[in-house]
Structure 1
Amino acid sequence: MNTAELVEAVRRVSLVLEREAALRFTFTAEGLTLEAIGSEHAQASESIDAHLVGDDTTVSLKPQFLLDGIGAVHSEFVRISFTKTENPNKPGPVLITSQSSREQAGADSYKYLLQPNLLLR
């Protein structure tokens, strides 16, 4: 994903969240959709372009922790990788690394590991 687009989308959508709430990230072949439900009157959703390799994935992440990790990526693109766990209801850690181009991974000199929240169904 484009780093700047992701940062701006996270900032905009997270405006409706309460202090410790998480954003829902849905990765599909069509791209990334961010969803926030702050209250019954405050909801936000936005989609950005993303290239997905693998199965569709939905994770819930705290926006400030994600922004902290992405803020240290000094490349035009960022890669978010997922780890599998034995329990499908408990997502594994998310790995954030730099991406030198849309298709090519960057140097692995920076890695940021983020633990997702449990998804509320």
Structure 2
Amino acid sequence: MTKPKPDDICQVRCFNTDLVAQVCEELPKDEILEDAHILFSALADKSRLKILYALSTAQELCVCDVASMLGVKVAAASHHLRKLRDLKILKYRNDGKLAYYSLKDERIGDILNCVLRQIAI
């Protein structure tokens, strides 16, 4: 991290106390910010982004399908899926010897698609 230049920082403690108070009142609760932090940390990995995008379009994929899509071993795909499940972003079901994963909430796909559209502009 670069050290700020003297002209990059304020020389006073707080200039607009009314605005700061308004912003503080409107800040989401810590629990909501924690959930957002979890979601954005999950999106910080390219493989997990691909998985979430695929699940936003395919509705449900098994572990071996995800591995094939990512071009990785089943164990690696399973690791990413387990991480997303632990973050409460995915749900899964077993069907015989297969484990299927899907988005826990379709709004996650909406958020991801919104971000991707914004970047593509």
Larger radius of gyration: 2
Q: Give TM-score scaled by structure 2 length.
A: 0.26
Task: Looking at secondary structure, tell me which structure has more helix per residue.
Answer: 2
Q: Give TM-score scaled by structure 1 length.
A: 0.26
